[in-house]
Structure 1
Amino acid sequence: MIIDAALYDDGRRVQGEPDLAEMVERGRDNPDAFVWVGLFEPEDAEFEEIARVFELHPLAVEDAVKAHQRPKLERYGDSIFLVMKTVGFEQAQDDELHIGEIMVFLGDGFIVTVRHGSFTGLSDIRQRLEDEPRMLRTGAGAVLHSVADRVVDAYEVVLDDLAPDVQDIERQVFAPGRHDLAERLYHAKREVQTIRRAVAPLGDVSSQLAGREPPLHVDPALRPYMRDVHDHVLRSHERLTVLDDLLSDALATNVAQIGLRQNEDMRKISAWVGIVAVPTMVAGIYGMNFEHMPELEWRYGYFVALGLMVAIAFGLYRAFKRTGWL
């Protein structure tokens, strides 16, 4: 659906614009004006009119409607098409990680933003830009920068939430006692990998936006702002790499600790089996009920047999204790 559509002239929103086609025409005729259309999860039929009015490329239109694209920056004729992934934790759903997408069409006198999923709201960006017309005077590229900046800043917010959890996992891995961390480690590792798939490809995209030759319809005056976005992308990617390495090391350590604990358990079991084996052997021999066996008629044979079993068992216990098996 179309969330908002407006014509901006000299950095200010023009009130009372008649229809989309006329807004586009006025945006193209006036170098100081452009049209900004915002959509949320549009259907094919709904987006068809937008594509026709702005002369959008069919391949880009298909990507924008179907979503599930990797971050990229492509040029189609006289317009560019940008795809970015959004990430965020849903507090109401046990901090579940949600992935969304924002697509941006930037052309001569227009910008179209298409949002998919949660954590992709742009209404506050529109309001902030309208309150600061200085940025809007640079053209539709200012909207492109603001959208990219919002997406990248959200990465750092998510990483700030994720980092303490990773550190807590690391502490528990090396804490004394037994902790079942396999599920938690896997879940954190999956979240980091999911965020990394959103951030890593954006490094090349932001590099192009911040390059010496700005993309089409992006004012060169915005280049420092684009460099700032690129720097934030690189910083987020570096943090993700560190978190991913920490989780990999913690996972390997946890597996090694499980193996060591299993070896310790087997040694203890083996030690107790050895301790119990001697009394079992003695009792088994004298439980055969043969008629001619030594010491059967001896008055103290029962007590000597019990004492022998206890003494041998105690001796084995002390031996296993010294060797660390118990």
Structure 2
Amino acid sequence: MLQRADGAGGARAGAGPIVKPGVVAARVYSGGRWITDTTVERAGEWAQKPGHVVWIGLYEPTAELLRTIQQEFQLHDLAIEDASRGHQRPKIEQYGDTLFIVARTAQMVDGRIAFGETHVFLGHGYLISVRHGPSTSYAAVRDRAEACPGAFARGENYILYAILDFIVDNYMPVIEMIEDEVDALEERVVNSLLTGNEVERLYQLRRDLLRLRNAVVPLVDVCRRLEHSEVMPIEAALQPLFRDVTDHVRRVQEAIDAQREVLAFTYEASVMAGQAEQTAVSRRLAAWAAILAVPTAVAGIYGMNFKFMPELEWEYGYHATILVIVTACATLYWRFKRNGWL
């Protein structure tokens, strides 16, 4: 039976309705229009009817549900194994008449990038999307596509484009949030030293951006192969759409690289500022040590227990000694101050 997810909303961690594992939606389309819902057990029949397209959305499906899907659409064992395990690198593979595509999704959760996965099975007359982990629901994609029957009438290839475009577009809000934080840290390092927590945050952001880059870059090859129909024939009118997604992916990659460079500069600037501060403190300590060495040396000499010492019994010996100490210390202070050590 078709299991409806409450609200069919996104699986955004910590926000929005919680999506239950299983079938989120299973719909049949003809001529770009939604004609009916279906069950997984009957989806294969609908997909075989000329002019019909079945779109099934799954969220963290069970092994039993995936086996049912496999039997209905004759999916390859290796693809089903990958879709059940998750933690796959973005890729595109062809198994007979079916394409298996893996894409990584990303969103900000509690100041960190949370990664999810979307696995797509694409064949003649059907598309099956499988989501794992934190991921925005594709209900918005479905709603937009259903609102444009003319475009949606292009079939399962257009659905694939809409999903990939949605995934790539959702990278930008993540990058923009990181960019705002990076700009704040960059401004901080110019005006003052970063705290230990802020330096740790720099490391976190750089690590998250590297993971995001690893998720984004392979999509360039996926879209390129789709654009040039290297894996299966794509309608000529749809190839520019996949080219557009490729351009978006490249812009995302450039934005990630730019932010990583800014973070590297911010960290280096923080290190140099810290070293400069340490050098200034060391200079001040050395200057004061040199100044204090004068009275220490004089006091040490005249503190020795010798009977015959110069000026020991002179009436003005004490005053002369103090004058010498003050003069020497004042001279050293003036020199250090002029050289910027104090």
1:112 aligns with 2:128: yes
Quote how far apart the aligned CAs of 1:221 are.
2.1
Quote how far apart the aligned CAs of 1:101 are.
0.8
Which of 235, 246, 260 is the matching residue for 2:262?
246
Quote how far apart the aligned CAs of 1:315 are.
0.8
Structure 2 Cα separation of the partners of residues 217 and 82 of structure 1: 15
**Residue in 2 that maps onto 1:226:** 242
**Residue in 1 that maps onto 2:153:** 137
CA spacing shift, 1:146–1:203, aligned 2, 3 Å? same
1:83·1:102 contact (CA, 8 Å) conserved in 2? yes
1:204 aligns with 2:225: no
**1:23 partner amino acid:** A
Which stretch shows the higher mean deviation, 289-298 or 128-137?
289-298
Which runs of no fewer than 5 residues in structure 2 stay unpaired? 1-21
Which of 97, 111, 122 is the matching residue for 2:113?
97
Structure 2 Cα separation of the partners of residues 127 and 236 of structure 1: 25
**Residue in 2 that maps onto 1:259:** 275
**What secondary structure does 1:200 align onto?**
helix
Structure 2 Cα separation of the partners of residues 16 and 65 of structure 1: 24
**1:179 partner amino acid:** L
**1:14 partner amino acid:** I
**Residue in 2 that maps onto 1:35:** 54
The percent of aligned pairs where both chains have the same amino acid is: 38
1:208·1:215 contact (CA, 8 Å) conserved in 2? yes
Q: Over aligned residues, Cα RMSD in angstroms?
A: 1.9
**What secondary structure does 2:305 align onto?**
coil
Which of 140, 152, 165 is the matching residue for 2:168?
152
**What secondary structure does 1:158 align onto?**
helix
**Residue in 2 that maps onto 1:300:** 316
Quote how far apart the aligned CAs of 1:209 are.
2.1
2:227·2:234 contact (CA, 8 Å) conserved in 1? no
**What secondary structure does 1:105 align onto?**
strand
**Residue in 2 that maps onto 1:55:** 74
Quote how far apart the aligned CAs of 1:217 are.
6.2
Which of 138, 143, 153 is the matching residue for 1:127?
143
Residues paired across the two proteins, number: 319
**Residue in 1 that maps onto 2:43:** 23
**1:22 partner amino acid:** R
Quote how far apart the aligned CAs of 1:157 are.
1.7
**Residue in 2 that maps onto 1:65:** 84
Instruction: Describe the superposition over 1:273-323 as per-residue Cα deviations: whole angstroms up to 9, x where unpaired.
Output: 111111111111222233332323223222222222111111111111222
Quote how far apart the aligned CAs of 1:249 are.
2.2
Quote how far apart the aligned CAs of 1:122 are.
0.9
1:276·1:313 contact (CA, 8 Å) conserved in 2? yes
**Residue in 1 that maps onto 2:30:** 9
1:35·1:110 contact (CA, 8 Å) conserved in 2? yes
Quote how far apart the aligned CAs of 1:199 are.
1.1
Quote how far apart the aligned CAs of 1:214 are.
6.6
Which stretch shows the higher mean deviation, 254-263 or 106-115?
254-263
Q: TM-score normalized by structure 1?
A: 0.91
2:28·2:53 contact (CA, 8 Å) conserved in 1? yes
Which runs of no fewer than 5 residues in structure 1 stay unpaired? none
Structure 1 Cα separation of the partners of residues 268 and 35 of structure 2: 60
Instruction: Describe the superposition over 1:40-75 as per-residue Cα deviations: whole angstroms up to 9, x where unpaired.
Output: 111222311112211111211111111111111111
1:102·1:120 contact (CA, 8 Å) conserved in 2? no
Structure 2 Cα separation of the partners of residues 4 and 127 of structure 1: 12
2:27·2:37 contact (CA, 8 Å) conserved in 1? no
1:24·1:109 contact (CA, 8 Å) conserved in 2? no
Structure 2 Cα separation of the partners of residues 144 and 200 of structure 1: 18
**What secondary structure does 1:118 align onto?**
coil
**Residue in 2 that maps onto 1:187:** 204
1:107·1:217 contact (CA, 8 Å) conserved in 2? no
**1:203 partner amino acid:** V
Structure 2 Cα separation of the partners of residues 255 and 122 of structure 1: 44
Structure 2 Cα separation of the partners of residues 111 and 5 of structure 1: 10
Quote how far apart the aligned CAs of 1:16 are.
5.6
